[in-house]
Structure 1
């Protein structure tokens, strides 16, 4: 336990810097509308793959990372992922056809999907006790704050041309250098071998309810990011700078939510799932109607609060649904894959519902996802009232 005292401030900064890699994709928050105009020969759902392909890769790679850390030190995996994200992210600047760009997004998604669980895992392995708990909170806040800054930079770069946003992926270089020179070294995490675990029940029926919820709720949430650029620029409400401001407001308020989550969760433990889902639903509902740019900022703030509360709430909830506490981390890994699946399927599910209902009205996507989210809020309320919800997670 005393071993954790050897870590210096720069060691801690290097460890926390890993979380910034999760938010690098925010560089392109303003790019989608320009991509649609750049490639008019492609269906808009195909162009939206630019935003959703990294989520698809997260489905597989987040589970793969659990195997990799049993073979390689986390430090080496993170540096490799940062290099992969740099090459695929910045390399897209030099490509001029959509299929090649989408291939680069697949490669980028492999890096980001693998590093996604490692931002927490490296803290879990290197730190202990109260310091570990504190750093896990700082990790979320540190990453969200970086995400707000990188989104603003991305909007500024996009104002010179949508290709210039890819210069933002050069941020991966200082992160890789910080990890290389200052991140403490660690041994691969050895898998525990226990004969009694064979055939042991790992999950409960509640686990699968929450996983199913995660797929559909994340499909709804993804519409905020995907449609934001299309609506603001398409309806002449603003340009790339305004899109990045709303996206940054979302991230800043997610940061604030992360800071106050611990205190608020103690007071409203049973109802945090309803509060977080409800705030996202409220933001999506308002986005169906608002016309002035300041109101988009307010919607971004509400959405950010909801997203900031949602993340830790449902991580606690899914861990609490495992048959035994020792299977909680595996439940979270599967949950992370379901998050990626929901984000990837988002354009297809929404487009399918829009065509099925024949909706050709403005902001039809947000009308669909706001209605669906309200239904999910009702479902979450019933679940919490019937099962006790994340009261169970407290035991873990």
Structure 2
């Protein structure tokens, strides 16, 4: 039982890592309130994206913070920043203070982002590591879906009440302190000792990390783009209401839970072919959305993308644990997370540009599908060529 509670406590650290956009159900009322007060739409949009930039800044500073902060203290500070900073707009809706609260939220997520992933790779190995990484990815998705749903329910009071969702970080902190910090302290003590093992990355390792950062960032950019544009597509094609769009997006997020439970099996079966197949499956889902004659067809496409998105991102961190030594994982994970956050932060601008170039939100999905298909083939063909001599033998 103790081992199970320990695993839950470590997995719980990932529950709020993708909570930046969980307040999206609040946007219509929030926008109306701020525009009436003379706040521009660009300033309101900035409230959504600013945590991502703070996360990137903290990730860049992470190696220096680790020199004088223990792993336990970093988790405590991170969860406190998420909980108290994230929920501040429930008390005051003054724009500068809300902006500050979003910065503090990004600070908290940035502090625990890399460590919530590497702590799994450090504590587990082999098939158990793959299983735990898959469940960790599911935990992220479950957290995003849960917080988004709760924010919508709290909207019945007022739009500012939706920010109370971030207080869920406090029970997660308590659970970690009770069951998960023993191993973390041991690891942090080891991490703070002078290391004899070489931590410098080889040129080959750097190339793999750059590729995985680009891969993860691209997959996240596409998934975020779907999240942003799918409600507008439903309205544009008159396939349903905003409530229908919200339900599809929630189900799309929850597909990540299924993806997490199946990840270890899929990784064992497809191995190096998994990442290119993810891109091809993403292309298929995007085509289904583009062709959708009705809401059900569109939902199938969205659920397909939600499933393979989680598989793709989890495969990146699993691959990291295979090519890097334990004392290199923190640096490698940080670099990949920079790519992830850049992809998420750039999503709105990229999809806006592509939709303008393609002429409509519908054609945007076709454009993304073509790009995914080409990228998938580029990754898949060299692997197929490598296998040809093996078959001949």
Does the 8 Å CA contact 1:145/1:251 hold for their aligned counterparts? yes
- Determine which of 276, 279, 282 is the counterpart of 1:280: 282
Q: Which moved more, 1:161-170 or 1:120-129?
A: 120-129
Q: TM (normalized to structure 2)?
A: 0.79
Q: Give the equivalent residue in structure 1 for 2:14.
A: 19
- Determine which of 211, 215, 224 is the counterpart of 2:213: 211
Q: Which moved more, 1:41-50 or 1:165-174?
A: 41-50
Q: 1:380 and 2:379 equivalent?
A: yes
Q: Give the equivalent residue in structure 2 for 1:249.
A: 251
- Determine which of 207, 229, 249 is the counterpart of 1:227: 229
Q: Give the equivalent residue in structure 2 for 1:344.
A: 345
Q: Which moved more, 1:345-354 or 1:287-296?
A: 287-296
CA spacing shift, 1:86–1:291, aligned 2, 3 Å: farther
Alignment of 1:4-15 (within 5 A): 7-15=2-10
Does the 8 Å CA contact 1:86/1:173 hold for their aligned counterparts? yes
Q: Which moved more, 1:250-259 or 1:179-188?
A: 179-188
Q: Give the equivalent residue in structure 2 for 1:113.
A: 110
Q: 1:170 and 2:167 equivalent?
A: yes
Q: 1:92 and 2:126 equivalent?
A: no
Distance, in Å, in 1 between the alignment partners of 2:127 and 2:322 is: 21
> Displacement, 1:334?
0.8
Does the 8 Å CA contact 2:78/2:108 hold for their aligned counterparts? yes
Q: Which runs of 5+ in 1 are unaligned?
A: 389-396
Distance, in Å, in 2 between the alignment partners of 1:222 and 1:271 is: 24
Q: Give the equivalent residue in structure 2 for 1:155.
A: 152
Q: Which moved more, 1:186-195 or 1:150-159?
A: 186-195
Q: TM (normalized to structure 1)?
A: 0.79
CA spacing shift, 1:372–1:162, aligned 2, 3 Å: farther
Q: Which moved more, 1:64-73 or 1:336-345?
A: 64-73
> Displacement, 1:338?
0.8
Cα RMSD after superposing both structures: 3.6
- Determine which of 63, 66, 75 is the counterpart of 1:78: 75
Does the 8 Å CA contact 1:271/1:384 hold for their aligned counterparts? yes
CA spacing shift, 1:257–1:343, aligned 2, 3 Å: same
CA spacing shift, 1:335–1:383, aligned 2, 3 Å: farther
Q: Which runs of 5+ in 2 are unaligned?
A: 388-393
> Displacement, 1:111?
0.9
1:18-50 CA distances to partner (integer Å, 9 max, x unpaired)? 121224345324234554555557776654434
Q: Secondary structure at the match of 2:68?
A: coil
Q: Give the equivalent residue in structure 2 for 1:59.
A: 56
Q: 1:30 and 2:25 equivalent?
A: yes
Does the 8 Å CA contact 2:137/2:260 hold for their aligned counterparts? yes
Q: 1:182 and 2:183 equivalent?
A: no
> Displacement, 1:167?
1.9
Alignment of 1:212-361 (within 5 A): 212-232=214-234, 237-239=240-242, 241-290=243-292, 292-317=294-319, 327=328, 330-355=331-356, 357=357, 359-361=358-360
Q: Which moved more, 1:199-208 or 1:220-229?
A: 199-208
Does the 8 Å CA contact 2:252/2:307 hold for their aligned counterparts? yes
> Displacement, 1:147?
3.5
Does the 8 Å CA contact 1:20/1:142 hold for their aligned counterparts? yes
Aligned residue pairs total 379
Distance, in Å, in 2 between the alignment partners of 1:213 and 1:86 is: 31
> Displacement, 1:209?
3.8
CA spacing shift, 1:55–1:309, aligned 2, 3 Å: same
> Displacement, 1:136?
3.8
Q: Which has the higher helix share?
A: 2
Distance, in Å, in 1 between the alignment partners of 2:367 and 2:279 is: 16
